Structure 1
Amino acid sequence: MSEKRKAYIAAISYAFIIGLSFMFVKVTLTVASPTDILAHRFTFAFIGIVILMVFTKNKLTIKKYDLLKILPLAILYPIVFFTFQVLGLAKISSSEAGIIQATIPIFTLALAGLLLKEKATRGQLVFISLSVLGVIYMLIMNGANATTGNVIGSGLILLSALAASLYNVFARRLTKQYSLLILTYVMTLCGFVIFNGVALGNHLMNGTIDEFFQPLTHVDFVIAILYLGLLSSLGTSYLSNYALSKLEASKMSVFSNFATLITILAGVLFLQEVFHLYHFIGGIIIIIGVIGTNYFGQRQVV
Structure 2
Amino acid sequence: MKQQTGVKLAYIFAVLNAAIIGFSFLFTKMALEYSGPLDTLTFRFAASFLVMSVPVAFGWVKLRYRGKPLYKVLLLATMYPLGFFTLQVFGLQHATSAEGGILYSFTPVVTMIIAAIFLKEATTVLQKLSIFLSVFGVVFIFIMKGSSIDLSNMAGILMLFLTCVAFAGYSVLARSLSKQFSPAEISYLMMAIGFIVFLAISLINHTAAGTLGNFFTPLASGTFVISALYLGVISSLVTTLTSTYILSKIEASKMSVFTNLATIVSIAAGALFLGEEVTVYHLIGSVLIIAGVLGANLFGRKKAAPKIASAARRKPDANVT
Q: Give the structure 2 partner of residue 182 of structure 1.
A: 185
**Cα shift readout 1:153-175 (whole Å, capped 9, x = no counterpart):** 33322111110011111111101
Q: Give the structure 2 partner of residue 153 of structure 1.
A: 156
What is the alpha-carbon distance in structure 2 between the residues aligned to residue 12 and residue 149 of structure 1? 36
C-alpha displacement of 1:208: 2.0
Report percent identity of matched pairs: 43
Q: Give the structure 1 partner of residue 264 of structure 2.
A: 261
What is the alpha-carbon distance in structure 2 between the residues aligned to residue 47 and residue 292 of structure 1? 39
Is 1:132 paired with 2:129?
A: no
C-alpha displacement of 1:52: 3.4
Q: Give the structure 2 partner of residue 117 of structure 1.
A: 120
Q: Give the structure 2 partner of residue 43 of structure 1.
A: 46
Within 5 A, what are the aligned runs for 1:63-212? 63=66, 65-147=68-150, 150-212=153-215
**Cα shift readout 1:212-231 (whole Å, capped 9, x = no counterpart):** 11111122221211111111
What is the alpha-carbon distance in structure 2 between the residues aligned to residue 124 and residue 198 of structure 1? 41
- For the Cα contact (< 8 Å) 1:267–1:273, is it kept in 2? yes
- For the Cα contact (< 8 Å) 1:79–1:191, is it kept in 2? yes
What is the alpha-carbon distance in structure 2 between the residues aligned to residue 299 and residue 68 of structure 1? 36
- For the Cα contact (< 8 Å) 1:26–1:89, is it kept in 2? no
Within 5 A, what are the aligned runs for 1:287-298? 287-298=290-301
Distance 1:149 1:95, change over 3 A: farther
Letter in 2 for 1:134: G
- For the Cα contact (< 8 Å) 1:3–1:246, is it kept in 2? yes
| Larger of the two Rg values belongs to structure | 2
Letter in 1 for 2:241: Y
Letter in 2 for 1:57: W
Q: Give the structure 1 partner of residue 288 of structure 2.
A: 285
Alignment: residue pair count = 300
What is the alpha-carbon distance in structure 1 between the residues aligned to residue 255 and residue 143 of structure 2? 24
C-alpha displacement of 1:149: 7.6
Q: Give the structure 2 partner of residue 26 of structure 1.
A: 29
C-alpha displacement of 1:92: 4.0
Distance 1:90 1:56, change over 3 A: farther
**Cα shift readout 1:200-257 (whole Å, capped 9, x = no counterpart):** 1232344321121111112222121111111111111111111111110100110011
C-alpha displacement of 1:90: 4.5
C-alpha displacement of 1:54: 4.5
- Name the TM-score, length of structure 2 as normaliser: 0.88
Is 1:14 paired with 2:31?
A: no
C-alpha displacement of 1:279: 1.0
- For the Cα contact (< 8 Å) 1:251–1:297, is it kept in 2? no
The match for 1:238 among 223, 237, 241 is: 241
Is 1:223 paired with 2:226?
A: yes
What is the alpha-carbon distance in structure 1 between the residues aligned to residue 274 and residue 185 of structure 2? 38
C-alpha displacement of 1:296: 1.1
Instruction: Note the residue ranges of structure 2 that are not aligned, 5 or more in a row.
Output: 304-321
Q: Give the structure 2 partner of residue 61 of structure 1.
A: 64
What is the alpha-carbon distance in structure 1 between the residues aligned to residue 34 and residue 298 of structure 2? 44
Distance 1:224 1:152, change over 3 A: farther
In angstroms, what is the RMSD of aligned CA positions? Answer: 1.9
DSSP-derived class of the 1:2 partner: helix
The answer to which of 135-144 and 283-292 deviates more is 135-144
Letter in 2 for 1:68: Y
C-alpha displacement of 1:82: 1.6
DSSP-derived class of the 2:69 partner: helix
DSSP-derived class of the 2:245 partner: helix
Distance 1:266 1:289, change over 3 A: same
- For the Cα contact (< 8 Å) 1:67–1:186, is it kept in 2? no
Instruction: Note the residue ranges of structure 1 that are not aligned, 5 or more in a row.
Output: none
Distance 1:70 1:189, change over 3 A: same
C-alpha displacement of 1:2: 0.9
What is the alpha-carbon distance in structure 2 between the residues aligned to residue 115 and residue 78 of structure 1? 21
- Name the TM-score, length of structure 1 as normaliser: 0.93
DSSP-derived class of the 1:63 partner: coil
- For the Cα contact (< 8 Å) 1:38–1:83, is it kept in 2? no
